[in-house]
Amino acid sequence: MGNEGIMTSIIQVDLLVHSAQVCTVPDRGRPQRGADLGDLGLIPNGAVAIRDGRIVALGKTADLQTRVTAAKEIDATGKVITPGFVDPHTHLPWVGERANEFEMRVAGASYMEIMAAGGGIMSTVRAVRAASVDDLVEANLPRLDRMLAHGTTTVEMKTGYGLTTADELKQLEAIHQLDQAHSMDIAATFLGAHAIPAEYKGQTETYVDLVVEEMLPAAAEWSQGNRPLFCDVFCEAGVFDVAQSRRILTKARELGFQLKIHADEFEGLGGTKLACELGAVSADHLVTTPAEDIAALGKGETIAVALPGTPFGLGHRDYTPAPEILAAGGALALATDFNPGTCWCESMQFIIALATRYLQLTPAQALAAATINAAYAIGQGDRAGSLAIGRPADLLILNLPDYRHLGYRFGTNLVEVVVKGGRVVGDER
Ligand code: NIG
Ligand code: FE
């Protein structure tokens, strides 16, 4: 009696990971804002069941063990399960390196001085212009491997090291091929307004004309046959001002791009307020953000993406005013900014370690900012950054007794197992 009902409810799954502290990081249909940041949806002694690459059951281990039979089981006793990290701001793909500039900075030169002297972003632009799509793919696949090994399962990448129409499209093509070749999910952003290229020195408006009239339409056309694109601008003193950023982003929005901005990295010009006004998905960096721009984040939908690896990488003392952004009711996400100039860092774990110190986030807040909120920052809150039935099975097993050890421990890889799309990374090789 009653057995039939129980029998029919037993499901066959590919993988059952069990006996762990499961941080589901629930998706409530919007990013976790203000005081709500840090909702982890903990399941003590929990389990996750996976079939055909998706989560099919989630709950207490004792319960799931009666409901599923699994082809493979992983006993995660004494460990933590989290969603795969989402890294919503990187400058992949590039070639070359700038260790010489790092040495100059250590000796006292500033990032913007090096840029003004023709180095910085332009130095990587020269390397990327000389590279083929194949060179870009080959140089960046191992970086994706390392990011995945450190727990990132979805990543955003940008152009911005081409700065001619052809070279920007070449970077887009490399992003597309990397996405095809790698298990990581990749979101793509057009950042033709990343720097004023040397050949346009002193003619910023003319370069903005080129971006608006030629590059953006070309990128939009490319995206038709391939993938949706974000458009980003480096809004900064000596680079693109607020009026130029507005021109570029307004045109991009007309062409169907979703918007992002690099704002307030060194000087607070009003780029964050502009992003909120234009309905940008995210405003990124936000170190020197003025009070009225913080208030705008609290009222608008734009997500603040903090990149604490960048001030750290530059040896600066000031970080994103996260407590103020949260007090205003803003939504905050974390990302690496992975790039060869300011932050050569593949690991979201290290970013969490920085955020728990210099942004004063609790481990729970930092984890939510690196998962569900980061997914929303690239428009993927409905598929990434949270563990729930029906979602792609992107999850991590951390060799930690409790999630609060994330950020507390740093400098080694705390991820023991990465499951990407239901497959244990490493098993397929
Ligand atoms: O986000 N600030 C602009 N862009 C990057 C640095 C890129 C580079 O230096 O190559 C950043 O920090
Ligand atoms: Fe950046």
Q: Is the dihedral of CA 387, 304, 252, 147 positive or negative?
A: negative
Taking the centre of ligand 1 as the mean of its atom positions, its distance from the CA of residue 410, in whole angstroms, is: 24
3-state secondary structure of 377: coil
> What pLDDT sits at residue 226?
72
Nearest alpha carbon, ligand 1 atom 12: 342
> What pLDDT sits at residue 5?
46
Q: How far is CA 334 from CA 107, 179, 312, 348, 366, in A?
A: 29, 22, 14, 8, 7
Are 281 and 258 in contact, with CB atoms under 8 Å apart? yes
Measured from the CB, is residue 257 less than 6 Å from ligand 1? no
> What pLDDT sits at residue 428?
60
CB-CB neighbours of 4 under 10 Å: 8
- Write the burial class of residue 399 (CB in 10 Å: 0-12 exposed, 13-18 middle, 19+ buried): middle
Rounded Cα–Cα distance for residues 348 and 340 (Å): 16
Q: Transcribe 145-174 into DSSP letters.
A: HHHHHTTEEEEEEE--S--SHHHHHHHHHH
Compute, in degrees rounded to 10, the torsion defined by CA atoms 208, 210, 215, 221.
120
Rounded Cα–Cα distance for residues 38 and 87 (Å): 18
- Spell out the per-residue pLDDT of the chain, length 429, in tens: 444 445 557 999 999 999 999 999 999 999 999 999 999 999 999 999 999 999 999 999 999 999 999 999 999 999 999 999 999 999 999 999 999 999 999 999 999 999 988 899 999 999 999 999 999 999 999 999 999 999 999 999 999 999 999 999 999 999 999 999 999 999 999 999 999 999 999 999 999 999 999 999 999 999 986 778 999 999 999 999 999 999 999 999 999 999 999 999 999 999 999 999 999 999 999 999 999 999 999 999 999 999 999 999 999 999 999 999 999 999 999 999 999 999 999 999 999 999 999 999 999 999 999 999 999 999 999 999 999 999 999 999 999 999 999 999 999 999 999 999 999 998 764
Atom of ligand 1 nearest to the CA of 195: 3
- Side-by-side strand order, sheet with 85-87: 85-87, 152-158, 185-193, 229-233, 258-263, 282-285, 303-306, 332-334
Residue 270 per-residue DSSP state: S
Q: How far apart are the first and last CA of the chain?
A: 47
Q: Is the dihedral of CA 51, 154, 78, 429 positive or negative?
A: positive
Residue 302 per-residue DSSP state: P
> What pLDDT sits at residue 1?
40
Are 147 and 190 in contact, with CB atoms under 8 Å apart? no
Q: Which residues of 269-303 are buried (b: 16+ CB within 10 A; e: fewer)?
A: bbbbbbbbebebbbbbbbbbbeeebbbbbbebebb
Measured from the CB, is residue 346 less than 6 Å from ligand 1? no
Measured from the CB, is residue 159 less than 6 Å from ligand 1? no
> What pLDDT sits at residue 375?
98
Rounded Cα–Cα distance for residues 332 and 377 (Å): 9
Query: Any residues with CB less than 8 A from the CB of 316 and at least 6 apart, and which?
Result: 287
Measured from the CB, is residue 289 less than 6 Å from ligand 1? no
Measured from the CB, is residue 340 less than 6 Å from ligand 1? yes
Q: Which of 232, 342, 343, 344 to mutate to test the pocket of ligand 1 (most atoms within 8 A of CB)?
A: 342
Measured from the CB, is residue 342 less than 6 Å from ligand 1? yes
Taking the centre of ligand 1 as the mean of its atom positions, its distance from the CA of residue 398, in whole angstroms, is: 31
